[in-house]
């Protein structure tokens, strides 16, 4: 879970995730939208992959990135549990 929150702590990585919400994108398509070196973006992709927030697939000469929705569901469930969201008063832990 720490990797997820670390990954979400960076605005560039959050923007990449927002872009991928709309659908899969190649590394080149993502790179076109940022004024960053490809090596810098590659580092961001690695952090996101390590946190399992995105998955990559090689298609010919391109790498295509997709959101891993289940990782977001796990993170949301974790946060909801911490703050006891969605529990009735009788279910809340002391």
Q: Looking at residue 50, what is its pLDDT?
A: 96
Q: What is the pLDDT of residues 1-50, one digit of tens each?
A: 889 999 999 999 999 999 999 999 999 999 999 999 999 999 999 999 99
Domain extents in the chain: 2-86
The distance of Cα 3 from the centroid of its chain, to the nearest Å, equals 10
Are 13 and 47 contacting, i.e. CB atoms less than 8 angstroms apart? yes
Helices (H), 1-94: 2-8, 11-21, 27-31, 38-50, 69-82
What separation, in Å, do the N-terminal and C-terminal C-alpha atoms of the chain show? 23
Rg (CA), the chain: 16
CB atoms within 10 A of CB 52: 16
Domain spanning 2-86, CATH architecture? Orthogonal Bundle (1.10)
């Amino acid at each position: 879970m720490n990797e997820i929150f670390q990954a979400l702590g960076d605005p560039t990585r959050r923007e990449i995730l927002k872009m991928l919400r709309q659908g899969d994108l190649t590394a080149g398509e993502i790179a076109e939208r940022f004024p960053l070196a490809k090596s810098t973006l590659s580092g961001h992709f690695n952090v996101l992959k390590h946190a399992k927030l995105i998955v990559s697939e090689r298609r010919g000469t391109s790498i295509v990135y997709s959101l891993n929705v289940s990782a977001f569901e796990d993170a949301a469930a974790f946060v909801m549990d911490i703050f006891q969201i969605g529990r009735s008063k009788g279910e809340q832990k002391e």
